[in-house]
Chain A
Amino acid sequence: MTRNDAISQLLTAMADDSLIQGHRNSEWTGLGPIMEEDIAFSSMAQDKIGHAWALYRTLHENLGGTDPDRFAFLRGEKEYKCCHFVEMPNGEYDFSLMRHFLFDHAEAIRWEQLQQSSFEPLVPLARKLKGEIKYHTLHANAWITQLCRAGEESYARMQSALNTCFPLALGIFEPNPEAEQLLTAEKVYAGEAALRAQWMDRIYNILAVAGLNLPDENEVTPVYGGRKGYHTEYLQPLLDEMGYVFRLDPEAVW
């Protein structure tokens, strides 16, 4: 494996996570709990899809990847490297909010790291996305803390969503030992274990303010497999849908 192969693996996983998470979140557009939140959540879904697009372009322009649209919309299921967490259907708004909270803090930490990456094309991108991601975590923190202080039902819903989401969220940090060894040695980024530790600290502090109990990370089994191309039953139908128009005529311009 070369340095560029390892970087491509990292970027593909990041981009696929963002794309599928953004796609899922966009399913709420027009159906949200109140108009103001509908608008905010839709903007963040668009941002996620935009982050994915920027990463696919980086793969295309700097690492010999194929056309971003085709790569994003027309690959076979096994070639996607997203974690299972983002594949899950939206469920109720509690699940969607909790996923947004856990995912976006992980994303924030990853992009903070990449501001110092030795892989130069990522540095300006990391700086550019910083403000958007800051809004995403601000939004998520405000919702989590307010709903947890708003009475028994909403508190119980958020705790239950956290319990469901946590093992899945650990899948964001699924190890990829061979690539990580190369990437940390080359100072591309600090590796999944380091990011996960930072993420645990950060979410713990906010969850504590909200009064939620973070499950013990040693007592849950992280949901892995996505980075190796093994997926949930939910991904293939999502991909069929996402590529539906494109596949009517892959040679046409849409």
Chain B
Amino acid sequence: MHNNTSMDNQSLDPRVKRLKLNSSGEPVTVQEGENWNVFEVFHQEKRGAHHEHVGCVHAPSAQLALVFAKEQFGRRKKCVNLWVVRSADILSFDTEDEDMFANNLEKTYRDASGFKVMEKINKFKKSAHDKE
């Protein structure tokens, strides 16, 4: 952003007017990998809470990923800490393997709702009462 006094562009933005824009129409290209690698970002809203996945940043190192994540994912809402991890290091199931989880809700023996103790207690109390 040199203080260029030559009138090489007519922008209404004084910041842009100071730039020496290349208006030749020559192609400008970005090389693959130039935007670095991808890191997943996990946000902790308050002490004691889980870190939750909120998105990702492109960064050349974990250190800068954390520095970037702080502003891209921690600049508005409450935040006390962040994690970053290379996306390549995340292991997950294939989405077509979703059926492995399909019967979870049927296995009521794993769930409090599968055990109806109150029914038995009430039945017992009622029969005891009836005997009296």
Contacts and interface: CB of A to CB of B under 8 A. Distances in A.
Interface residues of B, number: 21
Contact of B2 (A37, A91, A142): A91
A135 interface: yes
Given A43-B75, A138-B67, A142-B67, A91 B1 contact: yes
A34 to B, nearest CB: 6
B3 A234 contact: yes
A34 B63 contact: no
Given A31-B15, A89-B18, A135-B70, A36 B61 contact: no
B9 interface: no
Interface stretch (B52-60, B97-105, B109-117, B121-129): B52-60
A90 B14 CA distance: 13
Contacts of B72: 36, 39-40
Given A31-B15, A39-B71, A142-B67, A89 B1 contact: yes
Contacts of A40: 67-68, 70-72
Interface string B62-95: 0110011011100100000000000000000000
Nearest to B35: A34
Contacts of B35: 34
Main secondary structure of the interface of A (DSSP, over half): helix
Nearest to A241: B14
Contacts of B67: 40, 138-139, 142
B58 A34 contact: yes
Interface string A90-133: 11000000000000000000000000000000000000000000
Interface in B1-35: 1-3, 14-15, 18, 35
Contacts of A90: 1
Nearest to B61: A146
B70 A146 contact: no
A36 B70 contact: no
B58 A36 contact: yes
A142 B64 contact: yes
A145 to B, nearest CB: 9
13 contacts: A36-B57, A36-B58, A36-B59, A36-B68, A36-B72, A40-B67, A40-B70, A40-B72, A43-B71, A139-B67, A142-B63, A146-B61, A241-B14
Interface of A: 27, 31, 34-37, 39-40, 43, 89-91, 135, 138-139, 142-143, 146, 234, 237, 241
